[in-house]
Structure 1
Amino acid sequence: MSPVAEFDYVIVGAGSAGCLLANRLSANPDHRVLLIEAGGKDNWFWIKVPVGYLYTIANPRTDWCFTTEADPGLAGRSIHYARGRVIGGCSSINAMIHMRGQASDYDLWAQATGDERWLWGGPDGPGETLTIYKELEDYFGGADEWHGVGGEIRVERPRVRWKILDAWQAAAAQVGIAPIDEFNRGDNAGSAYFHVNQRRGRRWSMADAFLHPIARRPNLTVYTQTQALRLLMDDQVGADQRRGAWTTAQRRATGVRLLKDGEIVDVQARREVILSAGAIGSPHLMQVSGLGPAGLLTEHHVPVAVDLPGVGENLQDHLQLRTVYRIRGAQTVNTLYRNWITRAGMGLQYLLMRSGPMTMPPSTLGAFAKSNPALASPDLEWHVQPLSLPKFGEPLHR
């Protein structure tokens, strides 16, 4: 065991939330902040080049390469479940699509919590969600009713268009899915090219936005290649009990046990331990620390600190049903990539002009519609891609 280190705030996970939290909390020079990341640094070439998702997803250098349990509803298949294993987390390997939730999503959160601040807001109603999005944003089109400028999250239009996508959009209009200027205005019904988190043709991750600009702050420490093993906890006493009012348990997280450089290290948090290790990492760390469903913990010989049945339950994600078409008479990424001359041209176009297919997110055009006209908001989404491959991490179809 190495000597115990102390900080005011200990943040587990340097993904999208962790980078933002480290930025905001370390802005106060009186706060000593530790940011912990199990993955490595984000200085690899293919992280910064937008089309690099073809090489970062399903690559153990940048992806945890989780897989789901075999699912009877998917003919017994197990699916790759990408999670970022790098500074910036999933924002360093994901599709770069800048997509807010719809107003109706935040209405549900407000109802569930009884807190109107979750409401979408804007000029026509209460709530803070839209205002916060605008404060965080640096939008290519300038400030308006829907967007802000000067924030850390850069939003740009895609730097490439495809005739086959324009044709798809026209076909969608014929069946009632109208073209719109953009998504992100609270109701996404229609079709449009996705806006992207890029800056001048390069991926703009949340590490680029929030962490790298303030990395030299003397009160901020960042550990990479450091695995959080479990939470350290004390009994709650006195006023601390009120902070834990969400549970009747008399326990409070006071630090984290880490594996760093081959050694076990304990770090203490004078104020808070913050879990931002993602939808898989955070509940997993809670469970191995004894916070979770008592039956499951006992089954795996984990001493139960607090019986919390909800931990690790109710994960929902968007299941993508992929349809692939063979086409004639139109250019795609596949047709460009199978010839070394056109591949070289793509690389040269990117190096000289930061444009072309190498700036392309995996999904370029999107559309939303309702599966039932009686629904309050769209519940179906299309991602339309001018490329095909068996799955990420494998070559494009010839």
Structure 2
Amino acid sequence: METFDFIVVGAGSAGCVLADRLSESGRYSVLVLEAGGHDRRFWIKTPIGYGRTFLDGRVNWKYQAEPDPGADGRPAYWPRGRVVGGSSSINALVYCRGLPQDFDDWRAEGNAGWGWDDVEPVFSRFEGRIDRAGRRTGPGALAVADVRDEVHPLKSHFLASAGEIGLPLTEDFNGPSPEGVGVYAITRRPNGLRCSAADAFLRPALKRAKVRLETGALVTRIAIEQGRARGVDYEHHGEARSAAARCAVILSAGAVNSPQLLQLSGIGPGATLREQGIEVRLDRPAVGGNLQDHLAVTYYYKSREPTLNDELHPWHGKMRAGLRYVASRRGPLSLSVNQCGGFVRSSAASQRPDLQLYFNPLTYIEARTSERPSLNPDPFSGFILSYQPARPTSRGRIDIASADPRQAPRIRPNSLSTQKDLDDVVAGGRLLQALVRTRAMQALIAEPIAPGIEAMDDEAILADFRRRCGTVFHPVGTCRMGSDAGNAVVDGSLRVHGLDGLRVADASVFPAITSGNTNAPTMMVAHKAADLILHDAGAA
């Protein structure tokens, strides 16, 4: 058995950060274990390629949530990165820190050191802002590109329609005034390639002698002795192995796999563990609870003006875009299709932004289901409008379905189970109706593609949302951070309550979901976790 100072489980958005930060002094050795394989794939590096990796089992766990009563009893497809870089290698690249109030809420729940004033400097430290001219203006390793001058001209209609109903504009969702509508920044390098957490953080770490990455390494159990995590057992390409940790084992396997691994190791709801024949080491009902996610519904429209469909549906258009990308690393293949949107208040009575909007200059009607191998644009000019309530209050669970670590856990979203969430759905639908009725949007819409939201009353808005809503792939909260071991899994330093030498650092520790895309705050959590871990290691 080899021994390392730190063992990091998962080379995803958080694990890559930890590998870099924990090893940068040269003092500590780090083993990173990743169940998936390498990320050296064309469709991972190409920004628009997430349409290809969406259903690719070589890089994607392809989870299925159980039928959800709140969503008309429908199951949901949950893609999660099973590859170096994790979900940062297969996501839609949108970079949003979240709103300042999100983190002040974390602090208000008793998590000292996690308010906006605490975390904003952490974001600033690792962001490498790329301005509209392609110049790097920030000190960090993660490339965050301003693509306002590159997105489709259709954006002018969306921005004008927002202005007509009094929604503010923002130049930067990650700046001092993030409320409003605008163009999303994306994690793209100046050379036009995706900038995943692996690109920004893991590859520099792997140049150091004391960092080792093992891919194809499925961790099966945390080894616990006398109240302390001593290491892990794992399978490496079918061979059973073990590794020991001098300082700490850190779970960064994500909101699905981190609670699964805790439960497989005997840390979780006692009844669930006993049912699967697992010895209960710590009876912790909170492990796997507090599951939160964003749900959105999309409305489709035929356009009076050309959209990305016109460029990317015909074979010759695909070829032209491909040649342009190869030659210049620019054009539609260098962007996300999630181009515009924003954080807005559904009504004047809202005390804070409570909706996230999306405006995409592309439709792919025939690719709505998870059975299709890729997303293919429609043969007509089209665009979409979409909204998601930003701060859902419903809570679900993730629990093991078997003692076999290769079997996927049970995912029970429990969506739309509170009255507030139902009210937010209706409020969001009403705001979208107001957008659609503006002069700017009416000048763009040739016709809505059924079901259209225009004539829906409140009951119909809610019924349509239940019937068609889907996850936006932002699961968080299943190893909740908090001071009370009765309802939280880790404390404010991300130490697992009741055990030494074990921490969790990924989206699973979010006490409450942030208002937008979750990749950026996940990397922030990992950076703060490294500060906390290094402080404790130096004091030991």
Q: So what's the TM-score if we normalise by structure 1? A: 0.89
Is 2:44 the partner of 1:47?
Answer: yes
Write the distance in 2 (CA, Å) between the matches of 1:136 and 1:85: 24
Match of 1:110 among 97, 107, 121: 107
User: 1:395 is paired with a residue of what secondary structure?
Assistant: coil
TM-superposition CA deviations, 1:97-122 (whole Å, max 9, x none): 1100111011111111251x32222x
Write the distance in 2 (CA, Å) between the matches of 1:108 and 1:130: 14
Q: Is the 8 A contact 2:267 2:283 kept in 1?
A: yes
Is 2:215 the partner of 1:224?
Answer: yes
Write the distance in 2 (CA, Å) between the matches of 1:218 and 1:260: 21
Write the distance in 2 (CA, Å) between the matches of 1:212 and 1:287: 31
Match of 1:254 among 212, 216, 230: 230
Q: Is the 8 A contact 2:14 2:252 kept in 1?
A: yes
Q: Is the 8 A contact 2:231 2:243 kept in 1?
A: yes
TM-superposition CA deviations, 1:312-341 (whole Å, max 9, x none): 0111111121212122x3222222222122
Write the distance in 2 (CA, Å) between the matches of 1:186 and 1:94: 25
User: 2:242 is paired with a residue of what secondary structure?
Assistant: strand
Question: What does residue 206 of structure 1 align with?
Answer: 197
Q: Is the 8 A contact 1:14 1:88 kept in 2?
A: yes
Superposition pairs of residues 1-398 of structure 1, within 5 angstroms: 4-115=1-112, 117-121=113-117, 128-141=118-131, 149-158=138-147, 160-185=150-175, 187-200=177-190, 201-235=192-226, 251-327=227-303, 329-389=304-364, 390-391=367-368, 393-398=374-379
Q: Is the 8 A contact 1:23 1:214 kept in 2?
A: yes
Shift of 1:306: 0.6
Shift of 1:179: 2.1
Q: Is the 8 A contact 2:7 2:245 kept in 1?
A: yes
Write the distance in 2 (CA, Å) between the matches of 1:387 and 1:35: 38
Q: Is the 8 A contact 1:9 1:272 kept in 2?
A: yes
Write the distance in 1 (CA, Å) between the matches of 2:375 and 2:274: 40
Shift of 1:67: 1.3
Shift of 1:149: 1.4
User: 2:300 is paired with a residue of what secondary structure?
Assistant: coil
Change in 2 beyond 3 A, CA 1:9/1:50: same
Shift of 1:395: 2.9
Q: Is the 8 A contact 1:350 1:358 kept in 2?
A: yes
Shift of 1:282: 0.4
Shift of 1:165: 2.2
Q: Is the 8 A contact 2:10 2:35 kept in 1?
A: yes
Change in 2 beyond 3 A, CA 1:114/1:223: closer
Write the distance in 2 (CA, Å) between the matches of 1:176 and 1:89: 39
Task: Identify the range of structure 1 (75-84 vs 179-188) with the bigger mean alpha-carbon deviation.
Answer: 179-188
Matched to 2:197, the amino acid is M
**What's the RMSD between the two structures over aligned residues?**
1.7
Write the distance in 2 (CA, Å) between the matches of 1:381 and 1:169: 14
User: 1:217 is paired with a residue of what secondary structure?
Assistant: coil
Q: Is the 8 A contact 2:66 2:75 kept in 1?
A: yes
Change in 2 beyond 3 A, CA 1:256/1:356: same
Shift of 1:187: 4.8
User: 2:7 is paired with a residue of what secondary structure?
Assistant: strand
Write the distance in 1 (CA, Å) between the matches of 2:104 and 2:177: 12
Task: Identify the range of structure 1 (66-75 vs 180-189) with the bigger mean alpha-carbon deviation.
Answer: 180-189
Unmatched 5+ stretches in structure 2: 380-540
Shift of 1:301: 2.0
Write the distance in 2 (CA, Å) between the matches of 1:110 and 1:78: 34
> Kindly, what percent of the aligned residue pairs are identical?
36
Q: Is the 8 A contact 1:137 1:148 kept in 2?
A: no
User: 1:166 is paired with a residue of what secondary structure?
Assistant: helix
Task: Identify the range of structure 1 (189-198 vs 164-173) with the bigger mean alpha-carbon deviation.
Answer: 164-173
Q: Is the 8 A contact 2:19 2:205 kept in 1?
A: no
Write the distance in 1 (CA, Å) between the matches of 2:137 and 2:219: 36
Write the distance in 1 (CA, Å) between the matches of 2:129 and 2:63: 34
Q: Is the 8 A contact 2:131 2:137 kept in 1?
A: no
Q: Is the 8 A contact 1:160 1:359 kept in 2?
A: no
Unmatched 5+ stretches in structure 1: 122-127, 236-250
User: 1:286 is paired with a residue of what secondary structure?
Assistant: helix
